[in-house]
Amino acid sequence: MPVFRPRKTLMNPEVRRRGIYILPNLFTTAALFAGFFAIVQAMNGQFENAAMAIFVAMVFDGLDGRVARMTRTQSAFGAEYDSLSDMVSFGAAPALVAYEWALKGMGKIGMVVAFVYCAGTALRLARFNTNLDVIDKRYFQGLPCPAAAALVAGLVWLMMDIGWSGEETRWYALLVTLFAGITMVTNVRFYSGKDINLRKSVPFVIVVAFALGFALVSTYPPGVLFALFFAYGLSGYVMSAWRLLHRKPPVARVE
């Protein structure tokens, strides 16, 4: 005689609901909203606000992963949600801001460059998600998409601050957007900083360096932030050239 088993329904207390961790996903949602806000501001012609919103999204995006690791609330849902948020905040938003600000007047060339950046972000995220277990966590393979977005948004913010219009700087915008989009899908390695453990004590000089860094950024945020991320965007190529020049020749085998 078959054994009767109670059907699992929502009213059955034995059924366990699969929930999500609220804290890290709140930061991810905040990053997503900042990216959405940047898109809305770009459509309204408020490009300086749009650029600053992308930097705000960067802050929240950097916090969600750190918070998840420190509180041990990592989850597959959080990883997927973070990737979708990154595609909006660091893919669609910077591409649209650059296009509406400077590339729109260049016709099809501007549209293609904006799409190259957007597609580069999608490919970068897909490759990152599938290579998590096989790459050295100390380095990113290709320029990370938040840094690429900061490069594009930093140019817009800086040029707006010094009074240059998008039409006047459209070729600079084209080169920076194209550079960021292509660099995201290269095999050039960029330092990730993931080997820094925030739960361990650090020398006092590190705290002083962070304080000086914040003070430097506060003196002129548009210029300093763009310079920092431009230098980071070149750092991968500089390190690759350095390793290539100092690579030891293979030792000949003696039979």
- Which CATH number goes with the domain that contains 224? 1.20.120.1760
What is the tens place of the pLDDT at every residue in 39-79? 999 999 999 999 999 999 999 998 887 777 777 777 888 88
Instruction: Report if residue 160 sits inside a domain.
Output: yes
Range of the domain at 53: 22-245
Nearest Cα neighbor of 150 from 89, 97, 210, 229 is: 229
Rg, C-alpha atoms of the chain: 22
Calculate mean pLDDT across residues 165-185.
94
Instruction: Report if residue 117 sits inside a domain.
Output: yes
**Which DSSP state fits 153?**
H
For residue 193, the SS3 value is: coil
Neighbouring residues of 103: CB distance < 8 A, sequence distance ≥ 6:
109, 110, 111, 113, 114, 170, 173, 174, 177
Instruction: Report if residue 251 sits inside a domain.
Output: no
**Tokens at 30, concatenated:** 């905040």
Q: Which helix (H) or strand (E) holds 87?
A: helix 76-87
In whole angstroms, give the CA distance from residue 124 to residue 187. 10
**Tokens at 220, concatenated:** 């002129």
Nearest Cα neighbor of 148 from 182, 104, 123 is: 182
Calculate mean pLDDT across residues 15-20.
53
In whole angstroms, give the CA distance from residue 236 to residue 13. 54
In whole angstroms, give the CA distance from residue 57 to residue 28. 9
Instruction: Report if residue 85 sits inside a domain.
Output: yes
In whole angstroms, give the CA distance from residue 118 to residue 114. 6
For residue 25, the SS3 value is: helix
Instruction: Report if residue 178 sits inside a domain.
Output: yes
CB count within 10 Å of CB 114 equals 28
Calculate mean pLDDT across residues 3-11.
50
Q: Which residues pair with 189 in a beta bridge?
A: 141
What domain count does the chain have?
A: 1
Dihedral sign from CA coordinates of 166, 170, 172, 173:
positive
Phi and psi dihedrals of 142, rounded to 5?
90, 160
The confidence band for 9, taking pLDDT boundaries of 50, 70 and 90, is very low
Least confidently predicted of 7-11, 138-142, 203-207, 226-230: 7-11
In whole angstroms, give the CA distance from residue 147 to residue 225. 10
Strands (E), 15-120: none
Angle at 151 between CA 148 and CA 155, to 5 degrees: 150
Instruction: Report if residue 2 sits inside a domain.
Output: no
Instruction: Report if residue 15 sits inside a domain.
Output: no
The confidence band for 20, taking pLDDT boundaries of 50, 70 and 90, is low
What is the tens place of the pLDDT at every residue in 195-245? 666 666 767 777 787 788 888 888 999 999 999 999 999 999 999 898 888
Q: Quick one: pLDDT at residue 16? A: 47
Whether residue 10 is predicted with pLDDT greater than 70 in this model: the reply is no
Calculate mean pLDDT across residues 173-180.
96
Instruction: Report if residue 123 sits inside a domain.
Output: yes
